[in-house]
Amino acid sequence: MEGEGDAIHTHKLRKEYDALVAVDDLDLKIGRGTLYGMIGPNGSGKTTAIKMLVGLLRATSGTAYVLGEKVPIKRHIARIGYMPQEMAVYTDLTVHENLELFADLYSMDDEAFAKREENLLGVIDLIDRKDGLVSQLSGGTKHRVSLACALIHDPDVMFLDEPTVGVDPELRVGFWKYFSRLKESGKTVILTTHYMDEAVRCDIVGMMRLGSLIGEGTPKELMNSTATTDLESAFMALSKKVSA
């Protein structure tokens, strides 16, 4: 089966909204156990690409496979986790109730949920506020709850859209350590970020601009190929090259 060995495989994946091409014939091949960072400015197609991969948007053309199953996936849907860019948590529920809802939707048993909840609340540093209403938490803290909801069922592939936005620098470092641990345990993490300095922690970085992938490789490869010393400069150099 096409793309069976990869976590993600897309071929000429395209999304058009009338005259606007949001994602332009995207070819991606992301191996299992990879920490993949998608970087690019607003409107570059990162979120649209992720939404197509998790089955929320129908592609105009092209194909995509997640864990070897053609998108929209059904068989492996419980093996993926998705954290939308927006808060996307129920603010009128407590942290625990949010997590329990998603655990129920993934049919987790009570014991597994209790263990996993404790573990995740430790990661997002919210053990003490587990019974507090989400509406009473700060913006960054809500983001942490949102991340925990995406990971509650211990998925194999995680799509995290801007997971570190609004999170304070200290906790952000904690998040990245956690992402690295996930990767080391064989999980695949695909995340988008605005913070280009953060993306240097990824195994592979895909740079997107106007719906197209303008560069892809390890951070080092990208910097070397553009003779730059940071990813932001590498992105600017690649953008200039494509425009020319």
Partner 1 sequence: MRVDRVLAIAKKNLRSLRHDRRTVGFLVLMPLLMITIFGYTFGGNVKNVNVYVVNLDQAPANESVSAAIITYLQTRDTLHIARIYTTADGVAFATEKVKDADIWASIVFNETFTEDVTKASLDASGQPAMIGLTIDGTNPNIVSSVSNELLMAIRAVLGQRAFIAPILVVPDLVYGKDARFIDFFAPGVMGLAAMMVTFMLSIISFVHERSTSTLDRLLSTPVTEGEIVAGYALAFGLVGLVQSCVIITAAILLFNVMIVGNVLLALLVIFILGVGNQGLGFLLSSIAKNEFQAIQFLPLILFPSILLSGVFWPIEAVPTLLRPVSYFIPLTYAVEGMRSVMIRGWSVDGIWPELLILTAFAIAMLVLSMYGLKRRK
Positions 21 through 60 that interact with partner 1 (CB under 8 A): 51, 54-58
Q: Is residue 153 within 8 Å of 173, Cβ to Cβ? A: no
**What's the CA gap between 34 and 179, in Å, rounded?**
10
The answer to whether residue 151 forms part of the interface with partner 1 (CB under 8 A) is no
CB atoms within 10 A of CB 93: 16
The answer to whether residue 87 forms part of the interface with partner 1 (CB under 8 A) is yes
The answer to whether residue 113 forms part of the interface with partner 1 (CB under 8 A) is no
Segment near partner 1 (CB under 8 A), from 71-79, 121-129, 180-188, 215-223? Answer: 71-79
Segment near partner 1 (CB under 8 A), from 7-15, 18-26, 105-113, 213-221? Answer: 105-113
CA 165 to chain centre: 12
Among 31, 43, 72, 217, binds partner 1 (CB under 8 A): 72
- Residue 60: CB minimum distance to partner 1, A: 13
212-217/69-70 β-pairing: unpaired
Sheet holding 35-39, edge to edge: 80-83, 157-161, 188-193, 35-39, 204-209, 212-217
- Residue 126: CB minimum distance to partner 1, A: 18
Residues recorded for the chain: 244
The answer to whether residue 133 forms part of the interface with partner 1 (CB under 8 A) is yes
Q: Which two tokens stand for residue 180?
A: 């690295």
Positions 187 through 206 that interact with partner 1 (CB under 8 A): none
By beta-carbon proximity to partner 1, the closer residue of 167 and 207 is: 167
The answer to whether residue 228 forms part of the interface with partner 1 (CB under 8 A) is no
Q: For residue 214, which phi and psi values (nearest 5 degrees)?
A: -95, -10
The answer to whether residue 85 forms part of the interface with partner 1 (CB under 8 A) is yes
Question: What b-and-e string marks burial along 47-72, b requiring 16 or more CB atoms within 10 Å of the CB?
Answer: bbbbbbbbbebebeebebbbbbbebb
By beta-carbon proximity to partner 1, the closer residue of 149 and 222 is: 149
Among 2, 4, 27, 86, binds partner 1 (CB under 8 A): 86
Bridge partner list, 9: 29, 65
The answer to whether residue 106 forms part of the interface with partner 1 (CB under 8 A) is yes
Binding site for partner 1 (CB under 8 A): 51, 54-58, 72, 77-78, 80, 82-94, 97, 101-102, 104-107, 133, 149-150
